[in-house]
């Protein structure tokens, strides 16, 4: 069996000077339109108690483009500007549904520089992608092929803090479901080990940030000594960004390999429903938790399980997986973090993390 899914393929590309200039203007206009529309919607709600719709925001955009003050908006493709309004509309919909906080303004320095093009704003032919307002196709580094016969529906161009250009191509792809297997596994996320499995295996935590911490600290010290606004400071900031990008790339690669293996080998995967956002507020754990990439691990498991016909079960975060004996079911009163091995009154000797993974599996199977 197979299913059709929407899948994004991300590639590096190297723009020409003309393309760089055009994309920089587009990024600036996208950010301006988003912030301007957010300002107008906030003002209308604060002063008049009125909710501005997407259609009304779109009418505002048309008026801005034909005004003398904001005529520069006509220099870029209109599609990324409309997409910015759609993203803002989605942000307000999530806010009013209490799924997210109130939308915030985009910062030139801190926000991700990106622009989204729908099918009417790019040309795709013979493996070449040309964006609106550009004469030449993008010089994409095809690190892997798109599915045969795939037709892009959306293209997102972005530039990261390290100065690297990326294009993300969204296509519809037919993915074959994996053959059913009998195995099931419980996963207990950790810091010493990235994850302990109910099988007794522990997946190593490479600790990418710790391994590059000395190089990163040296780059950050050099940045702190540079004069604000100078070219030297811009170069130093780029070195820091490249160090962070290297850490993030290696972490992502490792997580992809781990999650792909878990999904291929197991029919049911049980995990704890951890609140990573709350855990990183603990300053003694924040750095280690962020370096482990628990949120990415959960996200990858979710979409890969959905693609390949596996089942991912999230066990309640308050389930006492560490305190519960997986043999007799007795619950210990206390289990400090420094206790890694413990013995139950029934005589069973437990590795704390493996025992927790076995309890997570049992609870997951019960829920499933």
Q: Enumerate residues 6+ apart whose C-beta is below 8 A from 112.
A: 158, 160
Q: Is 353 a catalytic residue?
A: yes
The length of the chain is 368
Tell me which of 116, 173, 188, 291 is the catalytic residue. Answer: 188
- The answer to whether the CB of 138 falls within 8 A of the CB of 68 is no
SS3 30: helix
| Candidate list 116, 173, 209, 272, residue with the active-site label | 272
Nearest to 158 by CA among 18, 23, 296: 23
**Pair 308, 263: CB distance under 8 Å:** yes
The C-alpha angle 51, 56, 62, rounded to 5 degrees, equals 150
The pair of structure tokens assigned to 356 is 């927790």
CA-closest candidate to residue 275, choices 189, 346, 211: 189
Question: Of all helices (H) and strands (E), which one includes residue 14?
Answer: none
Indicate the helix (H) or strand (E) that contains 23.
helix 17-48
188 is catalytic: yes
Could you tell me if 65 and 71 are in contact, meaning their C-beta atoms sit under 8 angstroms apart? yes
Paired tokens of 163: 């100065």
Q: Which residues are designated catalytic?
A: 188, 272, 353
């Amino acid at each position: 069996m197979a299913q059709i899914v929407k899948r994004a393929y991300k590639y590096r590309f190297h723009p020409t000077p003309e393309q760089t200039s055009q994309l920089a203007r587009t990024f600036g206009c996208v950010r301006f339109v988003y912030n301007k529309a957010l300002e107008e919607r906030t003002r209308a709600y604060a002063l008049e108690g009125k909710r501005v719709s997407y259609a009304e925001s779109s009418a505002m955009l048309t008026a801005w483009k034909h005004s003398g003050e904001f005529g520069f908006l006509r220099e870029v493709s209109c599609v990324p500007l409309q997409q910015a309004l759609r993203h803002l509309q989605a942000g307000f919909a999530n806010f009013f549904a209490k799924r997210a906080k109130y939308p915030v303004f985009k910062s030139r320095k801190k926000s991700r520089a990106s622009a989204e093009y729908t099918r009417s704003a790019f040309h795709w032919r013979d493996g070449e992608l040309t964006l609106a307002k550009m004469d030449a196709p993008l010089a994409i580094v095809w690190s892997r092929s798109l599915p045969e016969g795939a037709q892009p529906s959306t293209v997102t161009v972005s530039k990261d803090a390290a100065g690297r250009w990326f294009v993300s191509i969204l296509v519809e792809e037919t993915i074959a479901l994996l053959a059913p297997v009998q195995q099931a596994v419980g996963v207990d996320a950790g810091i010493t080990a990235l994850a302990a499995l109910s099988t007794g295996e522990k997946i190593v935590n490479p600790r990418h940030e710790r391994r590059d911490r000395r190089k990163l600290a040296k780059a950050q010290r050099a940045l702190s000594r540079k004069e604000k606004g100078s070219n030297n400071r811009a170069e130093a900031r780029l070195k820091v960004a490249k160090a962070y990008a290297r850490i993030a790339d290696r972490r992502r690669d490792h997580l992809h390999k781990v999650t792909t293996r878990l999904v291929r080998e197991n029919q049911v995967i049980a995990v704890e429903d951890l609140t990573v956002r709350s855990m990183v507020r603990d300053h003694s754990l924040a750095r280690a938790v962020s370096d482990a990439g628990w949120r990415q691990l959960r996200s990858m498991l979710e979409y890969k399980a959905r693609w390949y016909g596996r089942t991912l079960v999230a066990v309640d975060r308050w389930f006492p997986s560490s305190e519960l004996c997986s043999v007799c079911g007795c619950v210990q009163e206390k289990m400090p973090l420094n206790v890694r091995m413990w013995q139950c009154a029934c005589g069973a000797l437990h590795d704390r993390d493996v025992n927790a993974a076995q309890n997570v599996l049992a609870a997951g199977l019960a829920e499933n």
